[in-house]
Amino acid sequence: MNFIDISFAGEPVNTNDFQFLYENDYPTVMIGFIIKNKYDQERLQIKKAYNPVNYIHFLTTKNIQPIFLRGLKLTAKSKYIPLINQLEQLNLTLPAEINLKFYKNLLSEYNLTCDDCFSFLQKGIPN
């Protein structure tokens, strides 16, 4: 077992191994972790055999906020492509705000929820 220095919790993420998600990279589907500091970066590891990725996703709020993600990039099943297209159209027509009840109902049609990720609903939910 490797011990990780708890003082790393106060240090920022080392962005050397992270790549930006550009406009044409969306939609991106992934499962993984939010990396908040160097401590998370050291402790939240995924075996290299699974080809983990490190992304920087920007939340567009009043101030642009970077979110650091580590995870596995997934390919969306074809049954979810209509949902992705609907969400993309919503984002184009209502970029500032999508009604939460409407959004939850839309997801429920695909047996999905946003119970754990709605706070990240932006130009791409950390998927």
Q: pTM of the full predicted structure?
A: 0.70
Residue 126 forms part of a structural domain:
no
Residue 106 forms part of a structural domain:
yes
| pLDDT classification of 100: cutoffs 50, 70, 90 | confident
Residue 1 forms part of a structural domain:
no
Residue 127 forms part of a structural domain:
no
How confident is the model at residue 14, as a pLDDT? 96
Q: Report how far residue 40's alpha carbon sits from residue 43's, in angstroms, rounded to the nearest whole number.
A: 5
Residue 125 forms part of a structural domain:
no
**Domain, as residue range, for 32:** 6-120
How confident is the model at residue 127, as a pLDDT? 39
User: Is the pLDDT higher at 3 or at 51?
Assistant: 51
Q: Report how far residue 87's alpha carbon sits from residue 42's, in angstroms, rounded to the nearest whole number.
A: 34
Residue 68 forms part of a structural domain:
yes
> What is the tally of structural domains in the chain?
1
Lookup: tokens for 102:
């409407």
Residue 76 has pLDDT above 70, yes or no: yes
Lookup: tokens for 66:
């970077």
| pLDDT classification of 124: cutoffs 50, 70, 90 | very low
